[in-house]
Amino acid sequence: MEDTLMSDKLLVNISGDIAVVTVNRPEVRNALDRETWNLLRSTIESLDENDAIRVIILTGAGDKAFIAGADINALRVRSVLETSESENSAISRAIENCRKPIIAAINGFCLGGGNEVAMCCDIRIASEKAKFGQTEINVGILPGAGGTQRLRNLVGKGVAMEMILTGDLISAQRAAEIGLVNRVVPQENLMDEVMAVAKKIAVKSPLTVKLAKRAIAKGEGLPIEVGLLLELLSQSVMFSADDHFEGLDAFLEKRDPKYTGK
């Protein structure tokens, strides 16, 4: 890694055009307290504004957990008013709306708020040892950072109901079967696999990647005619972009393209 930015609870390692963001609280299985939630938001927003970054990878420190939910001690003292004004849902939305692709490298327990964060990412790749769950009901609450909505959209109403109402954990293989993760790989290969996907995306036109991500994400839930119009408008933008002509020229000249994002 060429550059390392550190805080007590979050690490950012930048290598070329790929940033690896690591939740760094292994002593509590990378559980999210309020400070870490806000650090995550500000870090993702900062990377989103950095034109040198093309792909973001999000993972957890150690080999036990991606993010094992919210910090129980923090939940213990939160009032009703603080909960109603909680920024966690807004933070999840900010992660989801990042213009750069975010890949979740899920290396262990991915529970509660951790699963909600993972679902905000664009691609989810899991270690075979990972465990998933929307476990809030086990401590007398329900998902509060988008879990009821995003889980339903990803896996369907019935499976989401079962996961949220039972609070049961599922295996990485089951998560892949229901569409919660893209693929499952051996634990020792996880970061290599994730980095390989990140590098494939990083060499593509950043403008095309941004527009494609937006069309897929914003088209969800829209009438098909509206979604197709969004796609067509995005494609029309690309036909006037420098990256489009560079891609065509590189193909005809049998060379690698050099995209600028313009």
Enumerate the domain spans of the chain: 3-202, 206-252
3-class DSSP assignment, residue 192: helix
Q: Are 88 and 113 in contact (CB under 8 A)?
A: yes
DSSP 8-class letter at 188: G
How many angstroms separate the CA atoms of 50 and 36, rounded?
Answer: 21
Across the chain, mean pLDDT equals 91
Over range 107-112, report the average pLDDT. 97
Backbone conformation region of residue 204, classed left if phi is above 0, alpha if psi is from -120 to 50, else beta = beta
Band of pLDDT at residue 177, cut at 50, 70 and 90: very high
Domain 206-252 in the same topology as domain 3-202:
no
Beta bridge partners of 217: none
How many angstroms separate the CA atoms of 171 and 59, rounded?
Answer: 18
Over range 143-156, report the average pLDDT. 95
* pLDDT on residue 78: 53
- 116 noted as active-site residue: yes
* pLDDT on residue 6: 58
* pLDDT on residue 119: 97
* pLDDT on residue 73: 60
- What the block records as the tokens of 240 is 């006037």
* pLDDT on residue 172: 98
Q: Which of 27, 82, 116, 246 is catalytic?
A: 116
Over range 138-153, report the average pLDDT. 94
pLDDT in tens, 31-88: 999 899 999 999 999 999 999 999 999 999 999 999 998 766 665 555 554 544 467 8
Over range 88-92, report the average pLDDT. 88
Domain 206-252 carries which CATH code? 1.10.12
User: Which amino acid belongs to residue 197?
Assistant: V
- 85 noted as active-site residue: no
Structurally, at CATH architecture level, domain 3-202 sits in Alpha-Beta Complex (3.90)
Parallel, antiparallel or unpaired: strands 102-106 and 65-68: unpaired
Q: Which of 136, 220, 246, 253 is catalytic?
A: 136
SS3 for 182-247 is CEEECHHHHHHHHHHHHHHHHCCCHHHHHHHHHHHHHHCCCCHHHHHHHHHHHHHHHCCCHHHHHH
Q: What burial class does residue 209 get, using C-beta atoms within 10 Å of its C-beta: 0-12 exposed, 13-18 middle, 19+ buried?
A: buried
Residue 189 has pLDDT above 80, yes or no: yes
How many angstroms separate the CA atoms of 167 and 162, rounded?
Answer: 8
* pLDDT on residue 30: 95
